[in-house]
Amino acid sequence: MSKLVKTKLLAEKKTDQIIKRIAFQIFENNFEEEEIILAGIKDQGYIFAEKLAKYLNEISTLNIILAQLSFDKEAIIQPDILIESKVNTFKNKVVILIDDVLNTGRTLAYCFHPFLSIPLKKLQVAVLVDRNHPKFPILADYVGYSLSTTISEHVEVVLTNEKEKGVFLY
């Protein structure tokens, strides 16, 4: 049995620089808006959204609303996606769907579903890492780091561990 080798792709400082850059890109593309919604996918996607909100608040006057999307990522057939915010919050607004890693596009495809019945101004996607293994026609508007991997490799984003933050490849 082979031992998994953990390789650090991005250290904490570089990861933070990338998140700041994405915040600037989001502001640049939405500077005429009064308010935008960052809809982070539960766990690392939501933490990424929180960090983006922090940087957006530092560089802009945009009103940033955070929303969290929750669902069972392992389920083959997805039940409803739980959005921890009122649906009226999203009407005629710019919504940026945020996840840590774009692998096949499956997670993001499921997360589009609740927004299909809400009249939005714009729906964009931001990911920290794009692995380039599309099975669904999902492209991110904002990408921190593009990485070609084998399908057997695993990318992990760690934004909360005080001992070791960054992006890792196994």
> Taking 50 as the threshold, does the pLDDT of residue 1 lie above it?
no
**How many whole angstroms separate alpha carbon 83 and alpha carbon 67?**
7
In this prediction, residues 57-79 reach a mean pLDDT of 86
pLDDT above 90 as % of the chain: 61
User: pLDDT (tens digit, 9 = 90+) per residue, 100-127?
Assistant: 999 888 889 889 888 888 899 999 999 9
- Write down the domain spans for the chain: 11-152
What's the pLDDT tens digit per position in 13-51?
999 999 999 999 999 999 999 999 999 999 999 999 999
Q: What is the pLDDT of residues 142-158, one digit of tens each?
A: 999 999 888 888 899 99
Residue 168: C-alpha distances to residues 25, 97, 107, 155, 157 (Å): 24, 22, 20, 6, 6
Q: Please give the CATH architecture assigned to the domain spanning 11-152.
A: 3-Layer(aba) Sandwich (3.40)
User: Chain-wide mean pLDDT for the chain?
Assistant: 90
- Tell me what the mean pLDDT of segment 53-61 comes to: 97
pLDDT exceeds cutoff 80 at 2: no
pTM for this one? Answer: 0.90
pLDDT at residue number 79: 66
